[in-house]
Amino acid sequence: MFKGVLSKMRTELDQSLIYFLELGDDFLISDYLINKEIRFKFLGFSCLKCSSEEEIFRQGHCKKCFFESPSTAEWVIRPELSKAHLNIQDRDIDYEKRIQLQPHILYLSFTDDVKIGVTRKSQLPTRWIDQGAINAIEVAELPNRYLAGLCEVELKKYYKDKTNWRAMLKANKSEIDLSQEKLNAKKYLPSDLKKYYNSTSLVKEIAYPLENKLDSPKSINIKKLKDFKGKLIGIKGQYLIFEDQSVFNIRSNEGLVVEMELN
């Protein structure tokens, strides 16, 4: 039996994609978990930042930490609001400089449709795996988060920037040529930022440990159910996928204390 606080699964993409589910002092590897009967039991909450047992508000944080922590500020979701390059503090200027003032990638990815996004260069391909992208390509490399955000604001006029989780889980192939789409995207970059366009990037394909095709995935609400069990058949994005097509989103349940039993 394992017990711990849920947090985003780490991944390693080498020959194949491997997930690591961390619970307490244990690291469970996807190859070991898949095809096993798993039972999850909801025990309570533990804020990822302060370990408070208050109910999780958002992104694994209690309400207080969500509104105070530098890692949940609005510029995280909206990079164009970044201000560290101006030496202006939002919540914690040291943190903001460390995160914002480093190379950022503007990319196109295919989850269930083509979408535009921004991430730190050091976060690739992790960011693509977390969103369940089938493939993705770098469009431009910007020297900081703010400039990447300016590009994204323009590109959002032509591409989606959100993923429909149900459609993402159902999709198992891309019909879009992303290298062609990258050429289109170049046209939409702000003219003074076109010099950051990446002309040599190639499409990265990502294969998930999931053989079955899903028709009607349904989301598991562990807080309501208190416990559930099922045979794990695969993982995509941050979703554990069970034989009866129910899916458990580890990301949106960060900060929940659970017990896990394997059979």
> CB atoms < 10 A from the CB of 43, how many?
15
Question: Taking the complex as a whole, how short is the minimal distance between the CB of residue 64 and Zn ion, in angstroms?
Answer: 6
Specify the residue, 7 or 163, whose C-beta has the smaller distance to Zn ion. 7
Structure tokens at 114: 């083509």
Question: Taking the complex as a whole, how short is the minimal distance between the CB of residue 52 and Zn ion, in angstroms?
Answer: 4
Specify the residue, 41 or 49, whose C-beta has the smaller distance to Zn ion. 49
Do residues 101 and 85 touch, judged by C-beta distance below 8 A? yes
Beta strands in the chain (DSSP E): 2-5, 10-13, 17-23, 26-29, 37-45, 104-110, 114-120, 135-142, 204-205, 218-219, 227-236, 239-242, 246-249, 256-262
Specify the residue, 51 or 219, whose C-beta has the smaller distance to Zn ion. 51
Enumerate binding residues for Zn ion (CB under 5 A). Answer: 47, 49-50, 52, 62, 65
The residue among 164, 166, 249, 176 whose CA lies nearest residue 214 is 166
Cα 159 to Cα 162: distance, rounded to the nearest angstrom: 9
Specify the residue, 218 or 223, whose C-beta has the smaller distance to Zn ion. 223
Question: Taking the complex as a whole, how short is the minimal distance between the CB of residue 62 and Zn ion, in angstroms?
Answer: 4
Question: Taking the complex as a whole, how short is the minimal distance between the CB of residue 84 and Zn ion, in angstroms?
Answer: 24
